[in-house]
């Protein structure tokens, strides 16, 4: 018995996260709508939260390249309902600079709730609920 192909939106989400890991700006430009709005709810790194455009998201990838030696997104679940997706993700970053009481070379881990709206093969809306682990 063969497995069914993954939902196209699930494949797009995995491609998006892989592009963040690789800091692949070309792929990010393809998968993120020019009009995307990302909302990051308050967390340890962003106590006030943030709302970002695609331009600000790309700047964040560049900042991440300076703050992290590497990062990995492990998708635990993706639930698709039409053009919306809910994802449970485990994130691990290896620090290049001190953050939250950790030193360069240490791992910082978080559990993410990521909620996306996808239209015409691009992410148009993103909500992040980031819970950084002790």
Residue pLDDT, tens place only, 65-84: 999 999 999 999 999 999 99
For residue 81, the enclosing domain spans 8-132
Under the banding of pLDDT at 50, 70 and 90, the label for residue 2 is very low
Q: What is the mean pLDDT of residues 86-112?
A: 97
Residue 2 is assigned to a structural domain of this protein: no
Residue 20 maps to which CATH number?
3.10.450.50
Contacts of residue 45, Cβ cutoff 8 Å, sequence gap at least 6: 99, 100, 130, 132
Residue 3 is assigned to a structural domain of this protein: no
Residue 3 clears pLDDT 80, i.e. is over it: no
Q: What is the mean pLDDT of residues 47-70?
A: 96
Under the banding of pLDDT at 50, 70 and 90, the label for residue 6 is confident
Q: What is the mean pLDDT of the chain?
A: 95
Residue 118 is assigned to a structural domain of this protein: yes
- Is the Cα torsion angle 39, 41, 43, 47 positive or negative in sign? positive
- What percent of the chain is modeled with pLDDT above 70? 96
Asked whether the beta carbons of 16 and 28 are under 8 A apart, the reply is yes
Residue 57 is assigned to a structural domain of this protein: yes
Residue 94 is assigned to a structural domain of this protein: yes
Residue 98 is assigned to a structural domain of this protein: yes
Is the whole model's pTM more than 0.75, yes or no? yes
The pLDDT of residue 4: 57
Total domain count for the chain? 1
Under the banding of pLDDT at 50, 70 and 90, the label for residue 1 is very low
């Amino acid at each position: 018995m063969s497995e069914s192909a993954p939902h196209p939106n699930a494949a797009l989400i995995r491609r998006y996260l892989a592009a963040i890991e690789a800091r692949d700006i070309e792929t990010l430009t393809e998968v993120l709508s020019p009009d995307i709005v990302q909302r990051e709810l308050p967390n340890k790194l962003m106590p006030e939260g943030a709302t970002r455009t695609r331009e600000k998201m790309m700047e964040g990838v560049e900042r991440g390249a300076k703050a992290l030696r590497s990062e990995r997104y492990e998708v635990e679940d993706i639930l698709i309902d039409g053009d919306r997706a809910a994802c449970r993700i485990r994130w691990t970053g290896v620090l290049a600079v001190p953050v939250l009481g950790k030193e360069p070379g240490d791992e910082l881990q978080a559990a993410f709730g990521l909620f996306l709206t996808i239209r015409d093969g691009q992410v148009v809306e993103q909500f992040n609920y980031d819970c950084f682990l002790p």
